[in-house]
A and B are shown apart, each in its own frame.
Chain A
């Protein structure tokens, strides 16, 4: 069970909320600035409010907005959003064994609510899917608390951004707080040398491939990092203190 009263009462629900609370200010600032950006780019208030309430995907919203305003065909808009969201498809492969015990409707809801940070925090807390009912209940309660707060923060702040669009100073660059939230998560995941390598390969690849359309550089970078790390696992660097390994 995912969206169920027993999930809300589970102690893991509060743990999920607490873990998300630490990055919520970054999400809040980012959501706010996304709401502002939608209005400033020329969307009507109704359109911007609808987007802020139901789409729940920052990068897809920012990518789709100019296409919507230019009157691009709907399939182009959706294909763009799907490409920007391709990293979530990778996440869904990873999360599948954790959620397949749920009925389809709840699986779709759990998927919809799983943004970048929930995925990262969830697999960090639960390295393996649970195989018994209490374990599953705990994992789903954590996921609901974590992703629920993420959704609430993003949506409320996005709506605020739409409403206050003309009062929020855009030149301050408050949206950068979102990147810093992701950065903090990255640091907390960097627990061993291979993960540092994954981060560096992905970062460099994403910049080098930035000219790819539809933000496909992100997926390219993930695939490159995973492949490089798998190869390095097979043929480990000979010495632990190789000169090329400065770490960070």
Chain B
């Protein structure tokens, strides 16, 4: 047991982690809580169709072109080529089954050799 369970467990940290699970629930269901009838303004409804793709792009872009909060100043970065390969694969095989899975596989097949092998 002692070999597996490392570190000292702090009760305050445990409490904070439980509360963190609470923020997952609260943030994702914030607008599910009140049953009061209300309608979104029409322009918000229209605008929301852009939210999913915008959210993905906003999460992805900094992870690809920045390192620790600073934009990269080199093209010798494995992430750039992995993303390029993934996107090309996606639009080449578009319509085929499991194309997202292929995007992940092709991207990693480019990423790992460049990153591990060449240190990009």
Contacts and interface: CB of A to CB of B under 8 A. Distances in A.
Interface in A64-88: 64, 68, 71, 74, 77-78, 81-82, 85-88
A51 B18 CA distance: 8
A132 B32 CA distance: 19
Nearest to A107: B32
Interface string A155-166: 000000001000
A96 B48 CA distance: 12
A56 B24 contact: yes
A226 B41 CA distance: 14
Nearest 7 CB-CB pairings of A with B: A111-B29, A44-B7, A184-B100, A203-B61, A221-B58, A225-B54, A85-B27
A189 B58 CA distance: 14
16 contacts: A25-B101, A39-B6, A59-B59, A60-B23, A74-B16, A78-B16, A81-B20, A81-B24, A93-B31, A176-B107, A181-B104, A187-B90, A187-B100, A188-B90, A190-B53, A248-B87
B56 A199 contact: yes
Interface string B14-58: 111111111111111111110100001001101110111111111
B16, B56, B61, B86 — which one has the most chain A CB atoms within 10 A of its CB?
B56
Given A78-B20, A186-B53, A248-B87, 16 more contacts: A44-B10, A47-B13, A54-B21, A60-B20, A74-B12, A74-B19, A78-B22, A90-B55, A108-B33, A120-B52, A120-B56, A173-B115, A180-B82, A183-B103, A187-B87, A218-B59
A41 to B, nearest CB: 11
Interface of A: 21-23, 25-26, 39, 42-47, 50-51, 54-57, 59-61, 64, 68, 71, 74, 77-78, 81-82, 85-96, 99-100, 104, 107-108, 110-112, 114, 116, 119-120, 123-124, 163, 171-174, 176-177, 179-190, 194-195, 198-207, 210-211, 217-218, 221-222, 225-227, 229-230, 233, 248
Given A92-B28, A107-B32, A226 B51 contact: yes
Interface of B: 4-10, 12-33, 35, 40, 43-44, 46-48, 50-66, 69, 71, 78-79, 82-83, 86-87, 90-91, 94, 98-101, 103-105, 107-108, 111-112, 115-116
Given A189-B56, A229-B47, A184 B24 contact: no
Nearest to B112: A172
Given A112-B29, A176-B108, A230 B46 contact: yes
Contact of B32 (A77, A96, A184, A202): A96
Identify whether the interface residues of A are mostly helix, strand, loop, or mixed. Answer: helix
Given A22-B98, A56-B21, A44 B48 contact: no
Nearest to A52: B17
B1 to A, nearest CB: 10
A51 B82 contact: no
A87 B50 CA distance: 13
